[in-house]
Amino acid sequence: MASGWRKGSSCTPPNVPSMQLGRRQRRSDYSSHADQHRRPRESAIGFIGLGAMGQEMASNLLTKFNSPPISSFVIHDHSPSSVSRFIERHASLGPGFGDVVTATTPAGVARLASTIVTMLPSSAEVEEVYLNPTSGILRGLQDHSSPSASSVGTTATTLCIDSTTLDVTCASSVASQLKKEIPGAEMLDAPVSGGVVGAREGSLTFMCGGTEATFGQAQPVLRAMGKKMIYCGPSGSGLAAKLTNNMLLAVCMMATAEAMLLGQRLGLKADLLAQVINSSTGRCWSSEINNPAPGALLPTKTTPADRGWEGGFASRLMAKDLGLALAAAEAHDEVPLLPLSSHVKELFAALVADKAFANKDFSVIYQWLSQHKK
């Protein structure tokens, strides 16, 4: 069991420089009975995965959630610098917000918080964080539910919201294992659209899979981080919706890039061509909002293409989502042929194999195509 840290303790919590732990930040994986009365698990929220998206989502959750007020906000990420960044960012929050508590394992988060949001890279990390037999969320819930534990209840009533984009089957399997082992635990797959900007502005769209009751229960948490919550059906349905949307988006972006390149080779200027397409039947989000050709939407809008395709939705994430969508198709009988999507998946896989492109906005497929002439 990881060592705990209490206010006044001489023990500096591992990984986090002591100067960064202000009055409201503590490190603890284990709370004593007395501590739990001061900071009850029922009104504590946990957040695991403080990366590009998670950092912003967690910040909104900590500062906007208020029904009921959060007793403590328990964070975990296996990268110490992500944890430190979050702590530094919120060091000056005044009273009225929950204490920020760090846990060294996901199990530590589960022991301390009855609502847990996870935002991780993909399937392998979600399996690790939820099901690792010694450090996972399930382990923490088992400890908390054990009759010999110092905690009060015998079952860990817990709401887990996973916003990772991952494999549909893996998500459903993790949710059912959690439910089977811990009857009081409920899990929602709630992948998002809106990117880092939407995460920062708290305007994400959540596509949710689980029971309707769990979806209802999750509303106050989701409202602190997003604007639109769509119930898609049973466990895995949120991911099915997310992956099919992104598959369509990739195909539309690829087609827009091809059209913008061909039109310019035929002598049209990028902005004129965009104006024509956006007043005609070829119009789509990729032509109108995130046009892949530099200058196409200027001066009205700037796009990642106008910044050297920096920022936006990374090509490596789009390649991952295409892989997941096609894997979901393969796992099912009687799925229609997906010729366009399959080909676009291969092209994105080739693109991200080149490190110069992998982290750029996925509209960089335009530049990649322009370098691959027939």
Q: Does 322 bind ligand NAD (CB under 6 A)?
A: no
How many angstroms separate the Cα of 147 from the Cα of each of 96, 153, 154? Answer: 34, 8, 6
* Distance from the Cα of residue 188 to its chain's centroid: 13
Residue whose CB is less far from ligand NAD, 52 or 329? 52
- Written as six digits, the tokens of 160 are 């887990």
Residue whose CB is less far from ligand NAD, 119 or 259? 119
Stretch binding ligand NAD (CB under 6 A), from 67-75, 115-123, 263-271, 288-296: 115-123
Residue whose CB is less far from ligand NAD, 36 or 303? 303
Contact 191, 165 (CB under 8 A): yes
Q: Does 125 bind ligand NAD (CB under 6 A)?
A: yes
Site string for ligand NAD, 59-78 (x = CB under 6 A): ------------------xx
Interface of this chain with ligand NAD, residues 159 to 178, rule: CB under 6 A: 164-165
Interface of this chain with ligand NAD, residues 264 to 303, rule: CB under 6 A: none
Q: Does 79 bind ligand NAD (CB under 6 A)?
A: yes
**What count of other Cβ atoms lies within 10 Å of the Cβ of residue 336?**
6
**In whole angstroms, how close is the CB of 51 to ligand NAD at the nearest point?**
2
**In whole angstroms, how close is the CB of 78 to ligand NAD at the nearest point?**
4
Alpha carbon distance 74, 62 (integer Å): 10
DSSP string, 82-113: HHHHHHHHTTT--TTSPEEEE-SSHHHHHHH-
Q: Tell me which DSSP letter residue 60 carries.
A: H
Helices and strands of the chain, counted as H and E runs = 16, 10
Q: Which residues contact 100 (CB under 8 A, 6 or more apart)?
A: 24, 25, 26, 62, 72, 73, 75, 86, 87, 90
* Three-state DSSP class for residue 182: coil
**In whole angstroms, how close is the CB of 203 to ligand NAD at the nearest point?**
13
Interface of this chain with ligand NAD, residues 191 to 210, rule: CB under 6 A: 192, 195-196
Is 242 tagged catalytic? yes
Alpha carbon distance 209, 187 (integer Å): 9
* Three-state DSSP class for residue 179: helix
Residue whose CB is less far from ligand NAD, 224 or 317? 317
Residue whose CB is less far from ligand NAD, 48 or 274? 48
Tell me the residue length of the chain.
Answer: 374
Total chain residues near ligand NAD (CB under 6 A): 25
Contact 48, 73 (CB under 8 A): no
Alpha carbon distance 103, 81 (integer Å): 14
Q: Given the residues 64, 227, 228, 242, select the one marked as catalytic.
A: 242
Alpha carbon distance 236, 239 (integer Å): 5
Residue whose CB is less far from ligand NAD, 57 or 93? 57
Q: Does 313 bind ligand NAD (CB under 6 A)?
A: yes
**In whole angstroms, how close is the CB of 192 to ligand NAD at the nearest point?**
5
Contacting residue, 129, 138, 257, 270, with ligand NAD by CB under 6 A:
129
**In whole angstroms, how close is the CB of 187 to ligand NAD at the nearest point?**
16
Residue whose CB is less far from ligand NAD, 171 or 277? 171
Catalytic residues: 242
Binding site for ligand NAD (CB under 6 A): 48-54, 77-79, 82, 119-122, 125, 128-129, 164-165, 192, 195-196, 313, 317
